[in-house]
Structure formats: structure tokens, C-alpha cells
Amino acid sequence: MTLTVKAFIKEFKSQFQSMYAYSYKEGSTEQLYNALGLYIKNYLSRNWKETKEDYVENSVKQVYYFSMEFLPGRQLESNAYNLGLLDTIKEGLNEMGMSLEELEEAEADPALGNGGLGRLASCFMDSLASLGVPGNGNGIRYQYGLFKQKFVDGYQVELPENWLRYRNVWETRNDKSTCMVKFGGNVWLEKNHLGYMEAKYENTLNVLAVPYDTPMVGYRNNVVNNLRLWSAEIPVEEEENYHTLEATEPIKEITQVLYPDDSNYEGRLLRLKQEYFMVSAGVQSILRHYKKYNLPRKNIPDKVAIHINDTHPALVIPEMMRILLDEEHLSWEQAWEITFKTCSYTNHTILREALEKWPIDMMKDLLPRIYMIIEEINQRFVDTTAPIYGDRITWQTAILQNGVVNMAHLAVIGSHSINGVAKLHTEILMEDVLKDFFELYPERFNNKTNGITQRRWMHLANPGLTRLLDEKIGEEWKKNPSELKVFKGFEQDEKTIKELAKVKFENKQRLADYIEELQGIKVNPKAIFDVQIKRLHAYKRQHLNMLHILYRYLDIKENPSKDFVPRVFIFGAKAAPSYMYAKQIIKVINSLAELINNDPDVGDKLKVVFFENYGVSLAEKIIPAADISEQISLASMEASGTSNMKLMANGALTLATLDGANIEIKDFVGEENMFIFGLSSKEVYELKAAGNYNSKGIYESNEKLRHTLDALTNDTIPGLNGEGYAVFDSLVNYNDEYFVLKDFESYIKAQEKVDALYRNTDEWTRKSLLNIASSAPFSADYTIKRYADDIWKVKQHSEQKDSVQPLDE
């Protein structure tokens, strides 16, 4: 079925008219966007329906990816693209006097996640559908997404993100598939007339979970999978009990807003409510759907795989037990076998402050039955482990410890597979963070290095590069990313090098125009575009980047005739609203930017741009224009990173510590094609173990560094109100938790190498080409293929798909 431009125009006009009852010529941008979105959704609805039917008719095994966060980005262009409609639609709109780009800006970018973890979930959704793997997402339809970030006098200010204001054309409210979720009250077990133990409840708070389904469109394969997001409502039959608006609050608040913490745990009751709400609704709906297969309950693991994205959905384990015990009346042993075989868990961080530990009292009050089950899981674990492994290891791995429920321990004990998100990260889990568990269950541990979807991050975000690749190596790489390596063959081809440089330059020109429009800052597109885009966190060390900028600024001021390679430093980063130190770093960078950008002595040599409200849509504009990818976390701290992969695939050279997936980037592209600096993870562990790190000593002995750090506190940077002191203090007087000063010297040296290489444009571009050509292993298609084969045991079901072969490890 191919759509002609003529047919599209006719159908679009009628779509618009049926929605608004006037001609499209009178339509606002929002209305035109809504009409186009619904047109596309109608177009794909048949595939969506048929995919669902196909899965049930053939009783295929399905994956359910449980995640508190999804960051899909705008869907208009990507859906049109995956359906193969993009060119037709663009042409049709042009004929009607509109452009797709203009309509697209009217689409809200759903910020239902914080950062890497949520974006990974959405890349996985894209790959599942594109590979024809039966896979669904399960999450929360937050009414407000991650806060909108604004800068006022350089300070971060948070505004609500009301993404649903102008409706969401992609979702379908599904009133047929609601579930009831119960909180609080009293529970006891009672024998019923059939002799089964039954859980009896009284005085519970009942919340109706309403699913909103969003199509996840595969790349040109007629597959449409489902992303199910749950919204909390008052049960219809209880409406009469809610007399005031206030009384409805405890229900409505459950899915009102996303917690804005990235890699940080705040033990709030409302968050626990959100987690259980999503988990309970999800598990209920899966087990209900399973009944359509008409198979015995013991076969559940043959047809269902549930993935737990970090510990946030780990209550899946006791919730599944609850349903199998209380509602299906299985024995504990039967229920446990099913649950354990069904569940798998990914860990995303080693940061202690991110590990979820719920107070037992809170859990008991909110989820009495779930707590009883957790207690029994814990007791059985202790009873079987202690006699074999002894008390010490048993105590250290228990789920219940010192008045809290350790959610990572629950997830590990209840899952048949536990994985980290990059090789180094998985090693650290096995050797340090989850060491005792690795001793108990070595066979459960495995690595799955993260990946990204080339469709969004190359094909759509970087059409210039995509055209060049198509021209040079053919279109096969789009279906099979490993073909990208063919591009290596052009390494010595002068013409290709020039063309690639031109693509990058045009992307930079476009970003430069956008920067000027947005911020009024004129940047030179010939300068090095040096990019650090990620959440603001001390371990990611944006302040190391800042110190280098400050160092460079002082150098420019003191050596006006020195020949500098022009550089534009670009930041995008949100700080968690309660994370003071991160906010202070933002303020320092903004004030420093203000100083530098307005100093006539500096001119083109140096500019600093800090984008407000970094998110998926901004990333799509920034990444294709990047020359340098800053991946400068303290080694061992960044589980994987994924902006590193996107930037590499778009031809940026990586400036990095040997942390997370940076190590694998190095393995594929070669050390000589990137810039590595700083302590290794092993050295970091040794330095911590030695316990003799002395940042003040470094400050005192390194003249260059001292000079730079002093500029934070001596009024060099106007507009600060103590934030420079705060950063100085933490680095010099509070012993620099993330070894910024330790890595400073080596970072500066690496930056000098960047400048030197950039002077040789061809050599630089050659390395850029090699980065693009070596980026295929980071395709989420490969990552998903490995999850599907090794963990979930699900097949690429739909035959239309070209099957994807994973690369060798």
C-alpha cells in the first residue's frame, strides 16, 4: 500500500474538516499538527490491531518492559518515517503551503523521564518494534513531565511541564482494560469454603488504573507494539464517596508528576504509591491478557517476560506472588518458580544514594499484603542461604535490614537475570556492589551494554550525514547498522573527507543560527563545538569542564597575542530541584558564560552557551553539530552513558575518562581516534582504598590550578553570590569527592591535544569518519537482540523483518 501525494492531501483535508469543521486554511499550527498526527495514527491503526491479534493468535511470548520513565521524544516525524510516509507527507504539506518542520514544533516533547534511563527505555521500544520482537512498555502517564528549566539571572528555576495541555494525539484511552489497585487498610488470611487461604481486605483505598496506549511503530515492517501508560482515577462506583475536590487529591496526585531525581533516591510515600500503582496495574493486566492464551499457569514464563528497569518496579516480584497466591491459589513453591522465571532486572547505577531502601513501617502501612509477602521471601531466602553460605553473607544480602526493605536485594533474589549496562559497570556490580550475590548466584549475572536507535539519532536528526552515507555505502546500513563499517573504506578518500566536513559545517551553521535566535549569542561555526549534554551531577563533573573554561579564559586575558583555536562550549543540563550543589554549578557556569561572551578581549576565541531546558528535542539539534563529546565522569561512576554513543555516531570525537561505555567506544574506534585522560577505575578504587587523597595539597602545589580556582572567589566572575565559594570549598576544603583536582592536569593536556588536532582539518575529519564508521555496535537493535536471546528468550516474531545479527562481543 503506497500513499500518493494527491491521496494524502485529500485525506488530510477531510481529516482536518472532520475535527474542526472548517477549512485547514483557517487552522492554527496546533490544529494542523493535531490533524496530521491523528491522520498518521489512523493510518497505522490497522497494523496496530493486526500486530496485537497476531501475537494472541500465535500465542507468542511477549516482553513487558516495566519502567517508571520513558522519554520518547516527538513522534510525528519518527512515526511518519518508520511508516515510510515522510517524503509523501512533506511534499503534500508543501503543496498545501505548509512545512512539516513548522507543524512539528507544535508537538509537545513528552518529558516522562529524567535522563539516560528513560531515554534508553524509549530507544528499546523503537528497537523492539523495528526488530519485530513482541514487546510492550509499561509505565505511568504523568500529568506533568519533568519540570521545564528556565534561567533567571543564571539560576535554575523550575516551571511545570503541562505536556497534555493541547491533547496528545498519539494516545488511546482504553476503558476496557482498567484495573483496580488497592492501598492500605487491614489484611488477614482466611480459609474460604473451598479450603483455600484467601486474603481478606478492609478499609483499603481503591484506585482505578486507566491505561492509555501509545503505538510504537517499527521501521517499515508493519509491526506496531504498545506502550501502556497508567493514569490514576476514582473508581466509578465510588465516585459518590468523594464529596469535595480536596477528597480526590490522594488519588489524583498518584500520577500527577514525575519525581525529578536522576540517580538519587528520595524516600517519599507518594513515590512508593506511584511504584506500586504502576506495577500492580501492569501485572494484573498481563495476567489477564495471558488468560487469552488458554494455557496452564505454570507456562506463564514461556509466554511472558517482565523486565524491571532499575529497582523502581521491583515490587513486580511480590505483586506477582500476591496474585498467584491469593487469586490463583497456587502454592508458594509454584508461584515462586513462575515469578522468578518471568522476572529479570537491570541495574543502572552504583551510586549509593540512588539505591532504594523503603522504611519497613511505610511499606507495611501502604502495602500490608505486599509486605507480608516480602517478609516471607526474605525468611525463605535466609533459611536456605544461611546453612550453606553462613550468617555473614546471609545478613549482608537479606532483603530486610535495619528497618528497611532493600529493593536491589529484592530485585536480585526474585530475578533469573541481573545485568549491568556496560562491561565495566557489570564488572563493578560483580566485584563490588553486588559481590555477595555474585557469590550466591554467579549464573544470573550478565552484561548488556546500552545502545541507541540510529533511526532517531542519525536518520532523522542528521539528514545531511544520512544522505552522504547512503551515497557512499548504500542504504543497507539503515536496516543493518553493522554495514556502517563499510564507511571506513573512505578514510583516505579526499573527496569524502571534504564532503563529510561540509555536512558537519552545515549542521554547525544551523545550530549557530539557532543559538543566535535563542540567546542572542553569535558563535563562529568554524570554532570547535565542544558539547557536554547530560543531567547535572557532581560525578559527571561539569565543574571540571567549567574549570578548564575558566583556565582558558584567564590564559586569553593574560596572553592576548597567543594563537587560540576558537572554541564554543555548549552545555545542556538540568539539576534536580533539591540538589543545591548542582544548582550552584549551573549558576557558576552561567555567570562565567556571561563574563566571557561579553568580554571584547575574547571575541571568537571563546564562547559559552548553556541551553535552557535540555531534552530530547534539543539533543536532536545539538548532537549533529558537535565536534567534541565531553564524557568526563570520575571513572567507575557513570554506569554507561548514552549521549557518548549518539555523539560518536554523529561524528564527534570523544574526550573521555575510561568510564562506562567510553571504554567500549575506545575498543571499537581505537585510542588514537579519541582523547583519553584521567584516572582509571582501578586507580580510583586504589586511591579510595589508600584513603590518603588530599585535594588541598594538589591545590597548593599546582600553580596553574591554584590560579584557576582562586578566580572562583576573587571577583573575577561578576554576578555570583557565594556559588564560586561553594564550588571552591567542596573541591579544596572538603576533599573533592569526585577527584576533580586530581584529574585536572591530565584534562588540560587532553584539551591541548584537541586544539592541535583541529588545526589539521582533514586529519580531524578522518577521525570523525572513523568514529561514525565504528558506531554500529552501539545500535540499540543489537542490544535488544541480546536481551531477547539471552534474557527474555523471545523471538523476532514477524517474518517481514530482516533479521539482525548481533556483532561479536
Q: Closest approach of Cβ 331 to ligand Z2T, in Å?
A: 35
> Smallest distance from the beta carbon of 112 to ligand Z2T, in angstroms?
12
Q: Strands 197-202, 186-191: parallel, antiparallel or unpaired by DSSP? A: antiparallel
Kindly indicate which of the ranges 173-181, 248-256, 636-644, 726-734 contains the residues binding ligand Z2T, using the contact rule CB under 6 A.
636-644
Phi and psi at residue 215, to the nearest 5°: -70, 135
By Cβ distance, which residue is nearest to ligand Z2T?
A: 116
Contact 455, 130 (CB under 8 A): yes
When binding is defined by CB under 6 A, the residue of 104, 171, 310, 627 that contacts ligand Z2T is 310
| Grid coordinates given for 368 | 500490608
User: Distance (Å, rounded) from C-alpha 581 to C-alpha 324?
Assistant: 46
**In this complex, which beta carbon is closest to ligand Z2T, that of residue 279 or of residue 639?**
639
Binding mask 256-295 for ligand Z2T (x = CB under 6 A): ------xx--------------------------------
Report in angstroms how near the CB of residue 274 gets to ligand Z2T at its nearest: 14
**Cα–Cα distance, 309 to 117 (Å, whole number):** 8
User: 61: phi > 0 → left, psi -120 to 50 → alpha, else beta; which?
Assistant: beta
Q: Does 126 bind ligand Z2T (CB under 6 A)?
A: no
> Pairing state of beta strands 197-202 and 417-420?
unpaired
| Options 430-438, 518-526, 569-577, 637-645: segment touching ligand Z2T (CB under 6 A) | 637-645
Q: Rule CB under 6 A: say whether 122 interacts with ligand Z2T.
A: no
Whole-number minimum distance, CB 425 to ligand Z2T, in Å?
8
CA 726 to chain centre: 30
- For residue 351, CA distances in Å to 241, 417, 537, 583 come to 44, 21, 11, 19
Binder of ligand Z2T out of 640, 771, 796, 798 (CB under 6 A): 640
Q: Which is nearer to ligand Z2T, 104 or 638 (CB)?
A: 638
Closest-CA residue to 124 (of 303, 285, 346): 346
Smallest distance from the beta carbon of 69 to ligand Z2T, in angstroms? 6
* Min CB(63)–ligand Z2T separation in Å: 17
Site for ligand Z2T in 440-479 (CB under 6 A): 450
Helices 703-710 & 740-758, crossing angle to 10 degrees?
Answer: 100
Kindly tell me which of 148 and 289 has the beta carbon lying closer to ligand Z2T.
148
Binding segment (CB under 6 A) for ligand Z2T, from list 108-116, 158-166, 367-375, 612-620:
108-116
Among 92, 451, 624, 660, binds ligand Z2T (CB under 6 A): 660
The residues that are catalytic are 348, 534-535, 540, 642, 646
Q: Mark the segment that binds ligand Z2T (CB under 6 A) among 5-13, 467-475, 639-647, 789-797.
A: 639-647
| Complex with ligand Z2T: residue 525 or 641, whichever CB lies closer | 641
Minimum distance from CB of 511 to ligand Z2T (Å)? Answer: 24
Assess 421 for contact with ligand Z2T (CB under 6 A).
yes
3-state SS, residue 508: helix
Among positions 585-604, residues that touch ligand Z2T (CB under 6 A) are none
Can you give the C-alpha Rg of the chain in angstroms? 27
C-alpha cell, 537? 551531577
Q: Where are the alpha helices (DSSP H) in 347-475?
A: 360-366, 368-389, 391-397, 407-413, 423-428, 435-440, 454, 463-473
Distance, CA of 111 to CA of 258 (rounded, Å): 9
| H or E, element range at 786 | helix 780-786
Segment interacting with ligand Z2T (CB under 6 A) among 5-13, 222-230, 548-556, 640-648: 640-648
From the CB of 362, what's the least distance to ligand Z2T, in Å? 20
- Interface segment toward ligand Z2T; rule CB under 6 A; list 110-118, 135-143, 384-392, 600-608: 110-118
Query: Among residues 275, 627, 630, 638, which is the contact residue for ligand Z2T, using CB under 6 A?
Result: 638
By CB under 6 A, residue 309 contacts ligand Z2T = no
Give min distance, CB of 400 to ligand Z2T, in A. 21
CB neighbours (10 Å) of residue 268? 12
Of 161 and 262, the one with the shorter C-beta distance to ligand Z2T is 262
- Name the 3-class secondary structure at 300: helix
- Residue 417 has what DSSP assignment? E
Q: 342, 462, 642, 654: which one contacts ligand Z2T (CB under 6 A)?
A: 642
The closest of 642, 263, 615, 314 to 448, measured between CA atoms, is 642
Cell numbers at 160, concatenated:
511545570
Interaction of residue 104 with ligand Z2T, rule CB under 6 A:
no
Q: Which amino acid is at 605?
A: K
How distant is the alpha carbon of residue 732 from its chain centre? Answer: 33
Are 755 and 460 within 8 A, CB to CB?
A: no
Helix (H, G, I), strand (E, B) or coil at 630: strand
Give the chain's end-to-end CA distance (angstroms, integer).
39
> Which of 644, 550, 676 shows the shortest CA–CA distance to 606?
550
Q: How many residues bind ligand Z2T (CB under 6 A)?
A: 19
Name the minimum Å distance from CB 656 to ligand Z2T.
13
Per CB under 6 A, the segment of 96-104, 111-119, 135-143, 550-558 that binds ligand Z2T is: 111-119
Residue 525 interacts with ligand Z2T (CB under 6 A): yes or no: no
Q: Does 117 bind ligand Z2T (CB under 6 A)?
A: yes
**Grid coordinates of 656:** 573521555
Taking the complex as a whole, the smallest distance from the CB of residue 113 to ligand Z2T amounts, in Å, to 7
Scanning 15-23, 115-123, 620-628, 736-744 for contacts with ligand Z2T by CB under 6 A, the matching segment is: 115-123
The answer to whether 627 contacts ligand Z2T (rule: CB under 6 A) is no
Are the C-beta atoms of 550 and 599 separated by less than 8 Å? no
Q: Which is nearer to ligand Z2T, 406 or 507 (CB)?
A: 406
Beta-strand pair 172-173/205-217:
antiparallel
* Identity of the residue, 27 or 313, whose beta carbon is nearer to ligand Z2T in the bound complex: 313
Least separation in angstroms between CB 629 and ligand Z2T:
14
Instruction: Assess 354 for contact with ligand Z2T (CB under 6 A).
Output: yes
| Residue 363 DSSP SS3 | helix
Cα separations in angstroms, 532 against 171, 398, 568, 641, 643: 33, 40, 11, 12, 9
User: Please, which residue, 51 or 532, has the CB nearer to ligand Z2T?
Assistant: 532
Site string for ligand Z2T, 712-731 (x = CB under 6 A): --------------------
Provide the 8-state DSSP code for 327. I
Give the amino acid at 375: E
| Smallest gap from residue 462 Cβ to ligand Z2T (A) | 21
Q: Is residue 349 part of the contact set for ligand Z2T (CB under 6 A)?
A: yes
Stretch that binds ligand Z2T, among 144-152, 191-199, 240-248, 346-354 (CB under 6 A): 346-354
641 binds ligand Z2T (CB under 6 A): yes
Contact 39, 78 (CB under 8 A): no
Determine, following the binding rule CB under 6 A, whether residue 115 of this chain makes contact with ligand Z2T: yes
Site for ligand Z2T in 382-401 (CB under 6 A): none
Q: Does 139 bind ligand Z2T (CB under 6 A)?
A: no
Q: Are 321 and 336 in contact (CB under 8 A)?
A: yes
Contact 640, 349 (CB under 8 A): no
Q: What is the DSSP annotation of 653-692?
A: EEEE-S-TTHHHHHHHH-GGGSEE-S--HHHHHHHHHHT-
* Contact residues for ligand Z2T, defined by CB under 6 A: 114-117, 120, 262-263, 310, 348-349, 354, 421, 450, 638-642, 660
